[in-house]
Amino acid sequence: MRIWHDRSYITRDDQEMISLGYAAEDFYSLRLSFVYSEDECARNRKLAMASEDNTRIRAAQMRSDEIESVVEAIAGQCACYQYRSDKEYPFDSDSWDLFFWCNSFLNTLPGVGGCRRDYSYVTLTFNSRHTPERRKEICELVLNMIRTRFSAHPHLDVAVQYCIRVDQARIDREVSEAESRVLDKPCSYHLMEGRIIKHDGDFFFLKKRCRKYGYRLSGYELLRIAWNMGIETARKAVPYA
């Protein structure tokens, strides 16, 4: 069994936002998957060409069954949306903890696998309506249970995937303070010279001599342009918790 932390979806811009206090790292999902050892992979490659459909189905079902037992244990402690049809929760609410998804043998073994669930790759996404503290609590609960009950599992791979939580209120506040000093002023954006305009509440960067088509800017991108123009905002404030 392996538990690892996946921050690959957090970009350099995201890291910059975190370092300046405009965002914080947050929990996005748990990914559970069946992973063969290197020796098993080598052995399976030799047998793959000679395998019959029945053998492939049995192997796929074995992989699915092993991970299903882990998901079942998690569902015993946390409310998993759409895992059981007899236990449904309002989606737009905080009454569930993890959003369950897995593939179907109809896709992973087309033509031979049927339409049953294939649990060999499962995602459990945290509820965005929970507080960050609650998401952390659920994550720790699940990981501790997995360590306790499945530490000897030879094929279980658990990835904790992270995202960022943006302090949009702070960005909006600083944008409203800075916009009068950046609108229609000469500036640069991705090595292009031009200016910023506001249209229907959104900000756009227009290249020089361009009158119709522009690049839509997020609030944070506008702040970065403002900083490059020498316009200071409150970016030295306490980091976003």
pLDDT per residue, tens digit, the chain (241 aa), is 999 999 999 999 999 999 999 999 999 999 999 998 777 666 666 555 555 667 778 888 999 999 999 999 999 999 999 998 777 889 999 999 999 999 998 887 776 667 789 999 999 999 999 999 999 999 999 999 999 999 999 999 999 999 999 999 999 999 999 999 999 999 999 999 999 999 999 999 999 988 778 999 999 999 999 999 999 887 654 444 4
| Environment class of 212 (CB within 10 Å of its CB; exposed 0-12, middle 13-18, buried 19+) | exposed
What are the residue boundaries of the structural domains of the chain, listed by start?
A: 2-166, 168-228
- Predicted pLDDT of residue 228: 92
End-to-end CA distance of the chain: 32
DSSP 240: P
- Residue 11 to residues 25, 162, 163, 217, 237: CA-CA distances in angstroms? 12, 11, 9, 17, 22
Contact 21, 50 (CB under 8 A): no
Backbone angles phi, psi at 139, to 5 degrees: -60, -45
What pTM was estimated for this model as a whole? 0.85
Query: Other CB atoms closer than 10 Å to residue 180's CB: what's the count?
Result: 9
